[in-house]
């Protein structure tokens, strides 16, 4: 079953001379919900930008199957990336279009469905994220959390194989956040979509993540990887344990007893 | 596309849907590939069957022949379920594949907000006229309000009650002064050149080429220098002001300033306006000079007038009052440009295209104001004989 979907090899990311992260190596399997963890400013969004072809790596490459994203010619890259959907940290909805137009954008771009059908699909997608009835609103007329969810609907519009979510649950109320977790799980379990999530929400991390990578801002590299629960049980690294226990444990004693109380 | 788990069963089978009545139940059979990129059969016959059937109690599904599927199928199912709901028919979802059941449950988890829906009404022409009239009224009101607020915060700043950043002022002076010199040089040199040529055509008919100097110097100092500078600056700086303030508005930066008890007028608008008012007259003088040089180039090179004669003529033609008129006009234009730029920026909507519109209307407003103000001032000068 474990078929590699995305492989990151020796990836080094920089802004100018400033190294954000170096020597990243990990594999995301098909159907995984892969969590990228780390403190603010450690380079999670930057890693995502490398994976979705927005920023070229200083070294190394991101492989989709066996095709290196940055070694391929632009045409191939475009084809690889057409199978992905992205939710940006800030939503990134086009502000001059209504929600329906925003979500319809990737659909009308890729298919030739009649307008009525597109409208129906859009309504269904908006219903999935709990925004049924808001088709004709402009992004600026929505709350922050609603904008986020609309961004999610746009990311899922074409039922992409691979979804990238940058902090999907930031700014969502707990009930909506739970529904979002359910949505992510059904997308991944049932439809074998691969999902890469950047998130700080510990509940989500343990509820949905079946693999992860932990980026460290001080050493500028990944210091752990694996299923989040296993990390919490087995890791002795203080910064990981502190992260996964909200700073309540400093890592010297392990954190095994916390697992039982979690969900 | 996402393949369902049983995708291997059929590759690229055409989608089909049919409904069979079995006593009180209607069994809908769905088969083939239901994906976005392939055509699917219309749902209407089945919907009609549900609508028209009497004594129908239950809706069942048979998905035995289902191939690949994605949102297309779920969207159609949502329509079917809606229809069944409306007719009060129970739906048996247990035969649907589990993932579809999950997705349907999620889509129904948050009920549709009926009050959120919007109607688009068509408007008749007199309603449109009325709306335009009301819009124009509101517009002029907003303009007056802006000018009023501006005046109040100027007063507050003068009294030292409002926060005003000197550093900002110098930044804006830099931005609209020295960096505008190249374009002002080019345009006014060329305008002087053009004035000289246009005048020369007539004047050389009766050998009065020497008066080209009068024409160019008076034309530049009283009118063209200031006007050209104003038009350049409204495109260059007025639009920039509108875009800067508009983007700040989109990002809620202006709201943030308000919450920090900083008056956006004094903090953002005033330094920009002051910078433009200070710089415009200086640019105007510079433009006059460049225009005169441009005219000189033409006159000396093509029309048999020596450089000393040209300069002599110019010096005797232009009085101090001509420079002053240009100077004052340009200060007024500066106020108008800064006003329209900042006003459009502060009134900007909250989207990317609104920022674009703010830039455009800043330039249009500024140019209209400039031309109207120029005409008025010219008439006044004429009447007063200066
Ligand atoms: N355009 C840029 N130019 C230079 N440095 C940048 C740029 N964007 C981000 N950085 C730096 O890169 C680092 C990582 O930024 P990134 O946005 O990837 O953080 P993050 O892990 O997503 O943080 P957060 O959890 O706050 O979203 C930060 O230190 C930031 O200062
Ligand atoms: Mg980030």
Atom of ligand 1 nearest to the CA of A47: 18
What element of type H or E holds A214? strand A211-216
CA distance B244 to B135: 25
Which two tokens mark B81? 């379920």
Domain extent, residue A102, equals 92-160
Q: Is any ligand 1 atom within 6 A of the Cβ of residue A65? A: no
C-beta of A13 in contact with ligand 1 (< 6 A): no
Residue A255 has what pLDDT?
Answer: 45
Do A178 and A142 fall into the same domain?
Answer: no
Ligand 1, atom 30, residue with closest C-alpha: A41
For residue A199, report the distance from its CA to the centre of ligand 1, in Å: 15
Q: Which residues of B touch A107 (CB under 8 A)?
A: 36
- CB distance A157 to A107 below 8 Å: yes
- A161 CB neighbours in chain B (<8 A) are 1-2
- What pLDDT, on the 0 to 100 scale, is given for residue A259? 45
Q: What is the tally of structural domains in chain A?
A: 2
Domain boundaries, chain B: 16-108, 160-384
**Does residue B386 surpass a pLDDT of 80?**
no
Q: Looking at the structure, tell me whether residues A169 and A61 fall in a common domain.
A: yes
- Per-residue pLDDT tens digits for B238-249: 999 999 999 998
H or E stretch including B21? Answer: strand B16-22
Q: Do B351 and A111 touch (CB under 8 A)?
A: no
- In the predicted model, is pLDDT for residue A12 greater than 80? yes
Instruction: Tell which wins on pLDDT, B191 or B18.
Output: B191
Tell how strand A211-216 and strand A33-37 pair up: parallel
Check: CB of residue A150 under 8 Å from CB of residue A103. Answer: yes
Which residue's alpha carbon is nearest to atom 26 within ligand 1?
Answer: A40
Best mutation site among A17, A39, A45 for ligand 1 pocket (most ligand atoms within 8 Å of CB): A45
Answer yes or no: is the C-beta of A41 below 6 A from any ligand 1 atom. yes
Asked whether the predicted pLDDT for residue A256 surpasses 70, the reply is: no
Of A160, A180, A199, the position where a domain reaches its end is A160
Establish if B109 touches chain A: CB-CB under 8 angstroms. yes
Question: What ligand has the least distance to the C-alpha of A200?
Answer: 1
Q: For residue A44, which atom of ligand 1 is closest to its CA?
A: 21
| B5 touches A at CB < 8 Å | yes
| Same-domain status, A99 and A29 | no
- A193: its two tokens: 């979509």
Question: CA geometry: angle at A101 spanning B346 and A165, to 5°?
Answer: 90
Ligand 1 pocket, A222 CB below 6 A?
no
Residues A201 and A120 in one domain: no
Q: Are B235 and B363 in contact (CB under 8 A)?
A: yes
In chain A, what percentage of residues exceed pLDDT 70?
Answer: 93
| Single residue among A118, A143, A160 that ends a domain in this structure | A160
Chain B nearest-CA residue for A90: B251
| Cross-strand pairs, A223 | none
Nearest chain A Cα distance for residue B106, angstroms: 6
Q: Which has more confidence, B372 or B386? A: B372
Is there a single domain that holds both residue A204 and residue A101? no
On whether any CB of chain A is under 8 Å from the CB of B119, the answer is no
Q: Is A11 in the pocket of ligand 1 (CB under 6 A)?
A: no
Given a contact cutoff of 8 angstroms between Cβ atoms, the answer to whether B221 and B322 are in contact is: yes
**One domain, residues A224 and A198:** yes
Which residue in A96, A159, A189 is closest to B71 by CB distance?
A159
Same domain, A187 and A254: yes
Residue A260: pLDDT band by 50, 70, 90 thresholds? very low
Does the model's ipTM exceed the 0.85 cut?
A: no
Ligand whose nearest atom lies closest to the CA of A37:
1
CATH architecture observed for domain B16-108: 2-Layer Sandwich (3.30)
Contact B61, B28 (CB under 8 A): yes
φ, ψ of residue B17 to 5 degrees: the values are: -145, 140
Question: Chain A contact for B4, CB < 8 A?
Answer: yes
pLDDT at residue B173 in the model: 92
How many other CB atoms are found less than 10 A from the CB of residue B243?
Answer: 19
* Mean pLDDT across B135-152: 90
Contacts 24+ apart (CB under 8 A), B163-169: B163/B262, B163/B263, B163/B266, B163/B267, B164/B266, B164/B267, B164/B270, B164/B271, B165/B267, B165/B271, B168/B271, B169/B271, B169/B274, B169/B275
User: Which residues of chain A does B352 touch, with a Cβ-Cβ cutoff of 8 Å?
Assistant: 94-96
* Same domain assignment for residues A174 and A254: yes
Do A194 and A31 contact (CB within 8 A), yes or no? yes
Query: Which of chain B's residues have a Cβ under 8 Å away from the Cβ of A125?
Result: 71
Nearest CA to ligand 1 atom 1: A15
Q: How far is A38 from A239, CA to CA, in rounded Å? A: 9
Q: Supply A88's token pair.
A: 């940006």
- Whether A70 and A14 share a structural domain: yes
A61 and A99 housed in the same domain: no
Q: Domain of A200: which CATH number?
A: 3.40.50.300
Interface A-B, measured as beta-carbon pairs within 8 A, has a size of: 104
Interface of A with B (CB under 8 A): 94-96, 107, 110-111, 113, 117, 120-121, 123-125, 127-128, 130-134, 136-140, 158-161, 179, 182-183, 186, 189-193
Atom 3 of ligand 1, nearest CA residue: A15
Nearest CA in chain B to A125: B107
Q: What is the dihedral of CA B222, B223, B225, B227, to 10 degrees?
A: 140
Shared domain for A121 and A240, answered yes or no, is no
Last residue of a domain, one of A160, A191, A208: A160
- Nearest neighbour of B2 by CB, restricted to A120, A136, A192: A192
- The token pair at B183 is 């374009």
| Contact call for residues B175 and B275 (beta carbons, < 8 A) | yes
Testing ligand 1's pocket by substitution, the residue of A15, A17, A222 carrying the most ligand atoms inside 8 A of its CB is A15
What confidence category does residue B11 fall into, taking pLDDT thresholds of 50, 70 and 90? Answer: low
Given a cut of 50, whether residue A254 has pLDDT beyond it is no
Are A34 and A153 members of one domain? no
Which of the 8 DSSP states describes residue B150? H
Q: What's the pLDDT tens digit per position in A188-208?
A: 876 678 999 998 888 889 999
Q: Mean of the per-residue pLDDT values for chain A?
A: 85
pLDDT above 90 for B234: yes
Percent of chain B with pLDDT over 90: 35
CA–centroid distance for A68 within its chain: 20
As a whole number of angstroms, the distance between CA B163 and CA B263 comes to 7
**Using 50, 70 and 90 to split pLDDT, how confident is the model at A261?**
very low
Say if residue B156 is exposed, middle or buried (CB neighbours under 10 Å; 0-12, 13-18, 19+): middle
Residue B102 CB neighbour total at 10 angstroms: 19
Q: Which of residues 87-106 of B touch A (CB under 8 A)?
A: 97-100, 102-103, 106
Distance CA B240, CA B245 (A): 9
C-beta A199 within 6 A of ligand 1? no
pTM here? 0.73
Q: Which residues 6+ apart lie within 8 Å of B24 measured at CB?
A: B55, B56, B57, B58
């Amino acid at each position: 079953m474990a078929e590699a979907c995305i492989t990151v090899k020796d990836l080094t990311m920089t802004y100018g001379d400033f190294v954000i992260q170096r020597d990243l190596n990990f594999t995301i399997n098909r159907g995984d919900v892969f969590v990228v963890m780390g403190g603010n400013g450690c380079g999670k969004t930057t890693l995502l930008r490398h994976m979705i072809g927005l920023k070229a790596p200083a070294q190394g490459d991101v492989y989709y199957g066996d095709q290196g994203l940055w070694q391929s010619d632009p045409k191939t890259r475009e084809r690889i990336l057409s199978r992905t959907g992205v939710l940006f940290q800030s939503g990134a909805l086009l502000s001059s279009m209504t929600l329906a137009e925003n979500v319809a954008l990737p659909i009308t771009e890729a298919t030739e469905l009649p307008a009525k059908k597109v409208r129906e699909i859009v309504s269904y997608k908006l219903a999935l994220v709990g925004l049924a009835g808001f088709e004709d609103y402009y992004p600026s007329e929505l709350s922050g959390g609603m904008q986020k969810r609309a961004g999610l609907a746009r990311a899922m519009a074409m039922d992409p194989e691979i979804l990238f979510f940058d902090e999907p649950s930031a700014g969502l109320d707990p009930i909506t956040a739970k529904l979002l977790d359910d949505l992510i799980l059904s997308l991944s379990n049932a439809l074998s979509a691969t999902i890469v999530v950047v998130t700080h929400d510990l509940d989500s991390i343990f509820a949905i993540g079946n693999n992860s990578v932990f980026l460290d801002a001080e050493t500028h590299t990944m210091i752990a990887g694996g299923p989040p629960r296993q990390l919490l049980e087995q890791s002795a690294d203080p910064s990981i344990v502190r992260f996964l226990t909200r700073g309540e444990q400093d890592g010297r004693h392990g954190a095994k007893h916390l697992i039982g109380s979690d969900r | 596309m996402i393949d369902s788990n049983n995708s291997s069963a059929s590759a690229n089978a055409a989608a089909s849907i049919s409904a069979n009545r079995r006593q009180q139940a209607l069994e809908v059979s769905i088969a083939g590939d239901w994906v976005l990129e392939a055509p699917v059969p219309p749902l209407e016959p089945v919907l009609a069957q549900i609508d028209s059937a009497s004594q129908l109690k239950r809706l069942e599904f048979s998905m035995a022949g289902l191939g690949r599927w994605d949102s297309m199928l779920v969207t159609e199912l949502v329509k079917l379920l809606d229809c069944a709901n409306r007719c009060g028919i129970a739906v048996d979802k247990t035969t649907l594949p589990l993932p579809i059941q999950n997705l349907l449950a999620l889509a129904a988890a948050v009920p549709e907000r009926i009050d959120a829906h919007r109607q688009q009404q068509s408007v008749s022409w007199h309603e449109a006229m009325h709306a335009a009239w009301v819009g124009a009224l509101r517009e002029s009101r907003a303009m007056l309000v802006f000018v009023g607020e501006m005046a109040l915060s100027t007063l507050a700043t003068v009294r030292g009650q409002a926060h005003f950043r000197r550093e900002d002022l110098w930044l804006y002076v830099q931005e609209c002064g020295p960096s505008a010199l190249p374009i002002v040089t080019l345009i006014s040199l060329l305008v002087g050149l053009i004035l000289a040529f246009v005048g020369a055509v007539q004047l050389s008919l009766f050998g009065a080429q020497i008066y080209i100097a009068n024409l160019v110097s008076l034309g530049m100092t009283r009118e063209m220098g200031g006007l050209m500078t104003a038009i350049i600056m409204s495109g260059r700086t007025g639009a920039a002001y509108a875009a800067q303030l508009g983007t700040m508005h989109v990002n809620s930066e202006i709201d943030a300033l308000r919450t920090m008890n900083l008056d956006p007028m004094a903090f953002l608008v005033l330094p920009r306006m002051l910078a433009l008012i200070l710089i415009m007259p200086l640019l105007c003088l510079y433009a006059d000079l460049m225009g005169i040089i441009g005219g000189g180039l033409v006159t000396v090179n093509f029309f048999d007038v020596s450089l000393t004669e040209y300069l002599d003529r110019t010096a005797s033609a232009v009085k101090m009052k001509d420079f002053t008129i240009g100077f004052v006009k340009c200060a007024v234009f500066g106020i108008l440009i800064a006003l329209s730029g900042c006003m459009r920026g502060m009134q900007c909507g909250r989207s990317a295209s609104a920022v674009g519109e703010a830039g455009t209307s800043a330039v249009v407003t500024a140019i209209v104001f400039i031309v109207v103000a120029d005409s008025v001032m010219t008439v006044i000068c004429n009447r007063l004989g200066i």
